[in-house]
Amino acid sequence: MNVKLFGEFFVTLLVIVDPPGMVPVFLALTGSMPAKARNRAGTQAVLLALGVIVGFAVAGQTLLDYLHVQLPALQAAGGLLLILVALQLLTGKTDEPAEQAGTSNVALVPIGTPLLAGPGAIVATMLFVQRAESVDEYLVLAAAILAVMLCVWLVLRFSGVIVKLLRPAGIEVLTRIAGLLLAAIAVQLMADAIFDFVEFYTGQG
């Protein structure tokens, strides 16, 4: 087993996904749910993120080439999506009944993607896959992805302890803070995408 490759990819992906940083947003979106529904949302989000990252690892470059889509465009799209969610959190318009919204809506978008399986995680995965030269190295990368997703699942699974400590008033405050953080992340994503586009077309010219 290529321990160096595993370590590099594991640390890179873990830092990008940032499980501790996900907790405020996860709790802001699922804090009003019953514990069972919140746990299910966390599991669904992790499974979706795993599927998206693996999918892009296997066929990401081919898909983007076929659609004539550049990575900065994917990044900008993720930023726009996060802006919408951030506005909902900041204005407090996220109070759909849990039964109506279901865990799937919040778990799949924005938690599963683009927060967990976002442009950064997708790009990092595609770059490491391009570096791999044997079946063994592909298996090492797969093991690293699974290890990162397990870490994320554990963090989300035990975030319920924080909910008990914060109570409804604390969750309300956390929701506003999470909205502000999400807005900042979204603006950064779009700014990076614009910079990459300018650099690409300037380089071509």
Model pLDDT for residues 63-105, shown as the tens digit of each residue: 888 988 887 888 888 888 888 878 877 887 654 444 444 445 7
Rounded to the nearest 10 degrees, the angle between the axes of helix 19-30 and helix 35-67 is: 120
Amino acid identity, position 162? I
Structure tokens at 114: 């683009």
Q: Which of 117, 145, 119 is nearest to 132 (CA)?
A: 145
How far is it, in rounded angstroms, from Cα 145 to Cα 157? 18
Q: What is the pTM of this model?
A: 0.76
The pLDDT value recorded for residue 13 is 93
Contacts of 18 (CB under 8 A, 6+ apart): none
Q: Which residue has the tokens 């109070």?
A: 95
